[in-house]
Structure 1
Amino acid sequence: MRIVRTVADVRAAVRDARSRGASIGLVPTMGALHDGHLSLVRAARAANGLVVMSLFVNPTQFGPNEDLAAYPRDEERDARLAEDAGVDVLFAPPVAEVYPQGFATSIHVAGLTDVLDGASRGAGHFDGVATVVTKLFQMVAPDDAYFGQKDAQQVLVIRRLVRDLDMPVTVVACPTVREPDGLAMSSRNVYLDPESRERATALNRALDAAEREVAEGRTDAAAVLAAASAVLGAAGIEPEYLELRSPDDLREVARVAGPTLLAVAARVGPARLIDNRILEAAP
């Protein structure tokens, strides 16, 4: 595996691979790798001749009171895991390579970024995501780009970005990877002490409760959300949001009539965690 830090070097690696007829798969990450990230690598490896992983903690998607400075960083560990999983090129640029002096452009995706995490984290969060992903797509020019379904809103934003700007990239969403007790894998799980770690499993159990409610024929939004909220409340968790939304455009829905996104975000101890589930009523 090669580690490169400049746009010129990653482009050279991609040109060389394309000259040999290889397709390019990109796995964008902020490091602190876990098996969720590595599942994306495995999917990219199965479908592409060259797998590029970006390793970049993007400052523009963090708000002023968020955990940019504390975000876990261990490039040596991440590089070892990436290589073992099948990454060919690890692109780990410094901030100045991505945002050089005088950088003044931001990408805004209207209509999908003012609800859920956009409302909780501020409008600038998804502007930062959209901007850095656009830059990565320009730098690497991948055929396919791989993202985790845990970040369902982010996947929708990136798909809209690709569609609206006619980018020749296929966005591949891979299933959420969970710990044995159901907690969705996240780089921020390292913030959890044992007590918070146990409480955090309530997020997945809340989604389970909502799913059972729908399976038993109670599809009204109030009933579904009440079932999930009860599980969170029993664990002492007050969600930042717990909402039913259309999985296509994030509009609010009053009933689970077709595939419906149930999304939750909550602070558990020092960690802000998100999770989601697609619910669907029985025919």
Structure 2
Amino acid sequence: MKNRLAVVRTLKALDRALAPFRDKGESVALVPTMGALHAGHLALVRHARRKADRVVVSIFVNPTQFAPTEDFSSYPRRLAADVDALAGENVDLVWAPDAAVMYPDGFATRIAPEGPALAGLEDKFRPHFFGGVATVVAKLFGQVRPDVAVFGQKDYQQLKVVTRLAADLDLRVAVVGMPTVREKDGLALSSRNQYLSAEERARAPALHRVLAGCAEKIAAGRPIKGVMESARKALTRDGFAVDYVEARHAETLAPVKSRKDGPIRLLVAAKLGTTRLIDNLAV
């Protein structure tokens, strides 16, 4: 039987709900989400449960990380269904503020991250994005004061930005990255997958398949530049409009020319129709 799960919407209610955990000296893990939860999110929740005594899941569709041309208004929102899914996962608390709580009248402070936030990947195509992410994550960390925060590796550049944010601002939270959860055909789970038509969904696994092929070739000693050029051509033939497909240093996200340059992460962003998909893979 599912637990009766508390959902709080105000800062005062959040403080009241967290107080008993703090009074007992219990550790707290936070899983930040924008809702529309899928199996990938639930995997993060289960990992958070292994990392701390208590698990808090935040659900907030953050307007500051969407550009005017992006899908903020249509982004799926289904709080009741999300809470129902979390109730079976031993979650202790859902923090679900609205925009007026997160960005009240007079709000005038924003974080401008650098380092991995300026790697020329997502930031090149969504220059507003990481400022919005960094600001909302810093707020969530300040509100919940978690000991651990769990993020998925599918948003790899975001994971590196948040890790740098926590370290640079001494936020006293351990940021943990979890491997990407995939469908059986390799497609990375994403709330935006529901936007794909049936025909697009059938083609979408090529994104992961091409990355996996690149990883094999680079590991075998093939020149990185030629491998990545071939990947772009292959994705284009498969009907993707490619924003980037890159080989980068796995920690700094700096460009790499050979395997000698350090651990390598392959990253891709491409559109199928109107749906933008991202993925990444270690070499």
Q: Which runs of 4+ in 1 moved over 6 A?
A: none
Please report how far the alpha carbon of residue 209 of structure 1 lies from its aligned counterpart in structure 2 after TM superposition. 1.1
TM-score, normalized by length of structure 2?
0.95
Instruction: Work out the number of aligned pairs and report it.
Output: 277
- Give the percent of matched residue pairs that are identical in Structure 1 and Structure 2: 48
Query: Aligned ranges for residues 185-264 of structure 1 at < 5 Å?
Result: 185-218=189-222, 220-257=223-260, 258-264=262-268
**What is residue 120 of structure 1 aligned with on the other side?**
125
**What is residue 161 of structure 2 aligned with on the other side?**
157
Counterpart CA distance in 2 for 1:28 and 1:106 is 18
Counterpart CA distance in 1 for 2:204 and 2:126 is 20
Please report how far the alpha carbon of residue 148 of structure 1 lies from its aligned counterpart in structure 2 after TM superposition. 0.2
Counterpart CA distance in 2 for 1:253 and 1:238 is 23
5+ long unaligned stretches in structure 2: none
Counterpart CA distance in 2 for 1:197 and 1:146 is 28
Q: Which amino acid aligns with 2:214?
A: A
Counterpart CA distance in 1 for 2:190 and 2:123 is 19
Counterpart CA distance in 2 for 1:29 and 1:251 is 27
| Residue 276, structure 1, aligned to residue 262, structure 2 | no
| Contact 1:23/1:143, CA 8 A, preserved across alignment | yes
SS for the counterpart of 2:282 is strand
Residue 102 of structure 1, aligned match among 101, 106, 130 = 106
SS for the counterpart of 1:212 is helix
Q: Which amino acid aligns with 2:110?
A: S
Counterpart CA distance in 2 for 1:211 and 1:248 is 17
**What is residue 89 of structure 1 aligned with on the other side?**
93
Q: Which amino acid aligns with 2:22?
A: R
Deviations 1:188-233 (A, max 9, x none): 0010111111111111011111012123321x22122134224313
Counterpart CA distance in 2 for 1:244 and 1:200 is 20
| Residue 37, structure 1, aligned to residue 36, structure 2 | no
Please report how far the alpha carbon of residue 12 of structure 1 lies from its aligned counterpart in structure 2 after TM superposition. 1.9
Q: Which amino acid aligns with 1:245?
A: R
Counterpart CA distance in 1 for 2:234 and 2:210 is 5
Please report how far the alpha carbon of residue 83 of structure 1 lies from its aligned counterpart in structure 2 after TM superposition. 1.3
Kindly tell me: are residues 11 and 208 of structure 1, through their superposed partners in 2, closer, same or farther at Cα, counting changes over 3 Å? Answer: same
Query: Aligned ranges for residues 73-84 of structure 1 at < 5 Å?
Result: 73-84=77-88
| Residue 131, structure 1, aligned to residue 135, structure 2 | yes
5+ long unaligned stretches in structure 1: none
Deviations 1:72-124 (A, max 9, x none): 111111111111122110111111000000100001111222310011112x2
Please report how far the alpha carbon of residue 40 of structure 1 lies from its aligned counterpart in structure 2 after TM superposition. 0.6
**What is residue 167 of structure 1 aligned with on the other side?**
171
**What is residue 46 of structure 1 aligned with on the other side?**
50
| Contact 2:218/2:224, CA 8 A, preserved across alignment | no
| Contact 1:241/1:266, CA 8 A, preserved across alignment | yes
Counterpart CA distance in 1 for 2:55 and 2:68 is 33
**What is residue 20 of structure 2 aligned with on the other side?**
16
SS for the counterpart of 1:161 is helix
Query: Aligned ranges for residues 168-183 of structure 1 at < 5 Å?
Result: 168-183=172-187
